[in-house]
Amino acid sequence: MFDILQLKSKSLDELQAIAKEMGIKAKDDKNQLVYDILDEQRLRKSIPPMRTARQNL
């Protein structure tokens, strides 16, 4: 997970690569991309992992 300072220190190319890995549409606005990545991280953290039927037993 990245924090805002880590993301802001990265180049636009690096941010676009991170966004692509996370399934975020690449943008040319560095600041917007930083906040999109932070938002996606927060969403992924708040969604509990799916449990398999075996784990429910």
C-beta separation of 18 from 2 below 8 A: yes
> pLDDT tens-digit profile of 7-56?
999 999 999 999 999 999 988 999 999 999 999 999 988 776 666 555 55
10 Å Cβ neighbour count for 21? 9
pLDDT at 19: 96
pLDDT at 53: 56
pLDDT at 45: 83
Distances (CA, A) of 4 to 24, 28, 42: 17, 18, 12
Query: How many Å apart are CA 54 and CA 57, to the nearest integer?
Result: 6
pLDDT at 22: 94
Query: How many Å apart are CA 24 and CA 57, to the nearest integer?
Result: 35
